[in-house]
Chain A
Amino acid sequence: MSDDAADVQRVLAGDVDAYAALVDRYYDRCARFAVRMLGNRDDAEDALQATFLRAYRALNRYQERDRFSAWLYRILVNQCRSIAARRAHRERVFVREEAVLLNAPDRRQHWSGEDEELVQRVLNELDPLLREAFLLKYIEEMSYEEMSALTGVGVSALKMRVKRACDRLRDRWERIKDD
């Protein structure tokens, strides 16, 4: 039995604190997806809170043969979709030159403010479905089969979304590289 499955069993047996272990194990990873997907920390925190609460309420529906992370991500992706649909997109103006960042030395472990805003702005420009597919593929590093099981979308459609997302990014680079 995996650590996840053992923790789920403990929670269902009445040990609520065992859920804290699951939250600790997945919070940061889920936070990264939520922030990248929603574009700001307030919305991301709402999505995370709703995700972990819904997962807790539905824990007796979790099947051990499924990976807990995939099950949790399915909830997270749907929460992000709901929040993104409810809230208006908030545009911000950024002045950072992207070509400079692209060629800058890479020594940081975490994002600093300007870089984060820049990359987030680029991601926000993608259509939500393309952004979601791009994030699951290249940030969460899932296989297309995992993505399909998580989103309910076919593998070929997901491949097309990822390709279109990459095409959009490449087009963007062509527009800005000579500036």
Chain B
Amino acid sequence: MTDAEDHPYVEWIAREARRPVATDPAARARVMEFVRREPAPRFSVWHRLVQPRALSLSPLASVALAAGLVGIGIFTGLFVLRRDGQTLAEQPLAVAPTVSGLPASDTVVTFIFAGKASQVSLVGDFNGWDAKATPMTKVVPQGTYWSVTLPLSAGRHVYAFVVDSQWVADQHAPLAPDDGFGRPNSVRLVGRGSSL
């Protein structure tokens, strides 16, 4: 204890309170009874997507895959190389963002946080609540607006901003019900037919 707290009575209270409490075995057993009635939790979609996995192919499928990859390489080379030998990558290029690779059910959504901060990221059910998975970038270098754009599947998504390690709800979106973690979350509906 520090000097301010160094007192026999305070130490006695702390020592007594540190004693284990006798718990009711039936109450502990009831916890598992209730747990077994719950739907089983599963890895999130995000976790399943980013997890490495083994892929086994038959010899014939392997040959077909290899031939396909070689074909893609040749096809790409024909389009990218110009007659003078320069590649398109060396030329000034202005291309609008494309979403052509998305599954039809996904929608591109932009999240914006307004406020002074040195680091902002987006967390939600779509990235496993991983504060490092979806960093946000300043809209202009000296500005106070942060944004990130990402594809989301249709439905209801719960999310929050992590602003300099502090969990912050989106003030411009509906709040999600308390989930028991004591942290404010917001709700974003994506696609038609979603509801809060």
Contact = CB atoms under 8 A, between A and B. Distances in A.
Interface string B1-19: 1101101111011111111
Contacts of A142: none
B31 A173 contact: no
B170 interface: no
Nearest to A149: B165
Nearest to B165: A149
A94 interface: no
A135 B20 CA distance: 13
A151 B181 CA distance: 10
B182 A173 contact: no
B40 interface: yes
Contacts of B125: 61
Interface residues of A, number: 64
A109 B19 contact: yes
Contacts of A50: 180
A115 B19 CA distance: 11
Contacts of B20: 28, 32, 109-110
B23 interface: yes
Given A23-B28, A138-B14, A77 B182 contact: yes
A11 to B, nearest CB: 7
Contacts of A48: 27, 31
Given A27-B31, A49-B27, A163 B8 contact: no
Contacts of A102: 8-9, 12
A5 interface: no
Interface residues of B, number: 47
Given A27-B31, A49-B27, A110-B19, A81 B182 contact: yes
Nearest to B167: A152
A86 interface: no
A166 B5 contact: yes
B32 interface: yes
Given A27-B23, A163-B5, A166-B7, A60 B42 contact: yes
B35 A16 contact: yes
Contact of B42 (A12, A36, A58, A138): A12
A178 interface: no
A78 B182 contact: yes
Contact of A74 (B14, B36, B40, B181): B181
A161 to B, nearest CB: 12
Contacts of A19: 32, 35
A45 B22 CA distance: 12
Contacts of B14: 134, 138-139
Contact of A60 (B27, B43, B180): B43
Interface string A59-101: 1110100000000001101110100000000000000000001
Given A23-B31, A57-B38, A106 B5 contact: no
Contact of A123 (B1, B17, B32, B182): B17
A38 B7 CA distance: 25
Nearest to A31: B23
Interface of B: 1-2, 4-5, 7-10, 12-24, 27-28, 30-32, 34-36, 38, 40-44, 47, 125, 128-130, 166-167, 179-183
The 4 A-B pairs of least Cβ separation, nearest first, read A173-B9, A166-B5, A78-B182, A138-B14
